[in-house]
Amino acid sequence: MGKQVLKLTLPQLSFSVLFFFIFFSSVCSDQPSKTFIFRVDSHSKPSVFTTHYHWYTSEFAQQDTILHVYDTVFHGFSAFLTPQQVASISTHPSVLAVFEDRRRHLHTTRSPQFLGLRNQRGLWSESDYGSDVIIGVFDTGVWPEHRSFSDLNLGPIPRRWKGACETGARFSPKNCNRKLIGARFFSKGHEAGAASGPLNPINDTVEFRSPRDADGHGTHTASTAAGRYAFQANMSGYASGIAKGVAPKARLAVYKVCWKNAGCFDSDILAAFDNAVADGVDVISISIGGGDGIASPYYLDPIAIGSYGAVSRGVFVSSSAGNDGPSGMSVTNLAPWLTTVGAGTIDRDFPAQVILGNGRKLSGVSLYSGAALSGKMYQLVYPGKSGILGDSLCMENSLDPNLVKGKIVVCDRGSSPRVAKGLVVKKAGGVGMILANGISNGEGLVGDAHLLPACAVGANEGDAIKKYISTSANPTATLDFKGTILGIKPAPVIASFSARGPNGLNPQLLKPDLIAPGVNIIAAWTDAVGPTGLDSDTRRTEFNILSGTSMACPHVSGAAALLKSAHPDWSPAAIRSALMTTATVLDNRNQVMTDEATGNSSTPYDFGAGHLNLGRALDPGLVYDITNNDYVNFLCGIGYGPKVIQVITRTPATCPVRKPSPENLNYPSFVAMFPVSSKGVASKTFIRTVTNVGSANAVYRVSVEAPASGVTVTVKPSRLVFSEAVKKRSYVVTVAGDTRNLKMGQSGAVFGSLTWTDGKHVVRSPIVVTQIEPL
């Protein structure tokens, strides 16, 4: 791959350019109505109108076209309008920006101990298990009767709570309690999208018009963040033990913004942000992203806009990094006020074996729990030998029953859900399936509760099986399922699907921020569908095992709740700093974490600051805090003008006369970008300020792990002295190197670290050095 060159363009947009960009393809006279989101300058409301809603319905859009009115994290409204109506409204002087509603996608028991949480001491005991902190979960809803949401022995609902328990299909006020203190649902954006496009409207036979979860994903993420202790938990015998969330006594408020088989719409997500902050949540967990591989500028991204409104009011927002790894620059949810979470494995696995007729045994994973094959050998077939892509992928109606009946079928991973391939094989008469990774997935494996005996294998094992089939006169195989194995080494390992850096929008900001457990995570499940989520799966299970950065994100949400409970005065940036600077880059062999996709050592482009380590986060020593004004200066530094910034911040912004350096955002990481055109020594300077949250009288000394030979990192001062009177200290970092001799790694960067320590605390920040083309 060699040297990676990033081509950057800064969106220095004039107001007219912003509108031209949005409406260029939308003003055709024959286009139908669609949903648009309008950002309005709230200060422009004439005093004659008592509310913004009255103003909007009088001057902008008719009452029956408005879907949501936003007035907490965002000022404006969403409406279902024709392109002509939108073009007319956009000329109103109070309209700051308009963008079309988009569809987003979900980024889909033992993990608390793996994070360093223990019952008798540390963050759980110091925070009282997150008691009275309120976590808002944006997802597919909740199955409220699940015992993970019991309110047994919980105290009264916090008085500051202003939320509601909305009613609807199979959901009444009685479904909320002192644990599940609020539940709302948002469907207007989805229903408008269904009216104007290829989506189907909500199907009341498989979905609930209420906060009730028909999909399972939301129940799983909510219980991962804050589920109560659930004894004798398992998924069809797998992962038996006590299931519990990271913050078992935290309160939950559920905001259903995603709908079964339909995704999640920006207009509904923004309404959830608006309501959640007004309701009084302390933490927001959002395992949702674009999923299209394209990072939108912050002023066109309602998740970035809504989360800024939340963070600016003291609400911590945790988001999933996305599942498009191991490709570089695949990370999503890039705003600097978001905490972006990738996924790693834990020290538990569900191994299975493929035993070939020649005696060779190949390792894989599976969560199959039905009747075993009991060592019986079956004929082995690979439909992909035909050369037809649909056959190799085992797509619907692609398999010839005459070819696969009574046999074990090899299917390639991709294009359709993994469990759906097994159903195709079963319908065609196959007795088992081997699901083989392609080169893009490498050796990364996740377990699935298949409907027939099935085993997932890595790309190398898959190639070996296919070679055996092509060279054997009578290829045979059987599958052997090994149950649950604990104490797996190495762990954690970076999940192959976990989205990777560099940051495709602003590479001077390292994303993801950190990783957390996201592979084969057991948590609560809905009673509406089986563990595969397939309509034909009639099984029901109290708990399910899922993988994805969707599962990693609520681990960090729960961690933030614990820290918020232990340190109520900490800002969202201080909480993120504590999680990042105490994260570990080592696995349980005391070696640098490996990348599941390649087997090689991972880098900060894969894991950010490292893997979540709550054993140390309670007492980080120093934190890097960030104010709202700091974020505004960052936006000025990347070329946003005051009007564009106001689209994000809601309030008017002023940029300094001297353009700020975006690298000086007080972030707990450093990215030094040298221009490719530089033919000598290049350097980059950073300014950081740390706040002492440990012992009042402390002296910290710096140590540096240089990114590569030929790169120097200088820190001044090299010693920071704190006292009762002095809580904050600033320092300057200079990263320099001769670009003629710099040899970038395969990722296009080299990596190091900067660490402050006082003998007790270790405050570590990653350093990335890369090269870019000049603007």
Question: Could you tell me how many residues make up the chain?
Answer: 775
pLDDT in tens, 500-549: 999 999 999 999 999 999 999 999 999 999 998 888 888 999 999 999 99
pLDDT of residue 29: 47
Tokens of 723: 């006292």
Lowest mean pLDDT among 9-13, 113-117, 153-157, 193-197: 9-13
* pLDDT class of 740 with cuts at 50, 70, 90: confident
* pLDDT class of 618 with cuts at 50, 70, 90: very high
pLDDT of residue 284: 98
Indicate the angle between helix axes 302-311 and 642-649, nearest 10 degrees: 70
- Active-site residue among 312, 550, 557, 602? 550
The more confidently predicted of residues 123 and 153 is: 153
Tokens of 201: 């409207």
pLDDT of residue 200: 65
- Active-site residue among 101, 139, 587, 619? 139
Query: Which residue type sits at 761?
Result: H
In the beta sheet, which residues pair with residue 180? 252
pLDDT of residue 120: 46
Q: Is the peptide bond before 531 cis (omega within 30 degrees of 0)?
A: no
pLDDT of residue 125: 55
What does the mean pLDDT of the chain come to?
89
The answer to whether residues 582 and 87 touch, using CB atoms and an 8 Å cutoff, is no
* pLDDT class of 68 with cuts at 50, 70, 90: very high
> Can 217 be counted among the known catalytic residues?
yes
Q: Report the alpha-carbon distance of residue 460 to residue 653 in Å, rounded.
A: 54
How many Å is the maximal CA-CA distance in the chain?
86
Let me know if 489 is exposed, middle or buried by CB neighbors in 10 A (0-12, 13-18, 19+). Answer: exposed
Tokens of 253: 């408020």
Tokens of 639: 């070329």
Torsion sign across C-alpha atoms 516, 520, 526, 528 = positive
The answer to whether residues 258 and 71 touch, using CB atoms and an 8 Å cutoff, is no
Lowest mean pLDDT among 389-398, 422-431, 671-680, 737-746: 737-746
pLDDT of residue 391: 82
Q: Which long-range contacts (CB under 8 A, 24 or more apart) does 83-87 make?
A: 83/23, 83/26, 83/27, 83/28, 83/29, 83/31, 83/34, 84/27, 84/29, 85/61, 86/23, 86/26, 86/36, 87/23, 87/26, 87/27
pLDDT of residue 265: 93
> Can 450 be counted among the known catalytic residues?
no
- pTM of the prediction? 0.91
Lowest mean pLDDT among 24-38, 98-112, 589-603, 760-774: 24-38
Percentage of the residues of the chain whose pLDDT score is greater than 90:
74
**CA-based nearest residue to 318, from 583, 513, 582:** 513
- Active-site residue among 68, 75, 217, 450? 217
Q: Report the alpha-carbon distance of residue 156 to residue 332 in Å, rounded.
A: 38
> Can 301 be counted among the known catalytic residues?
no
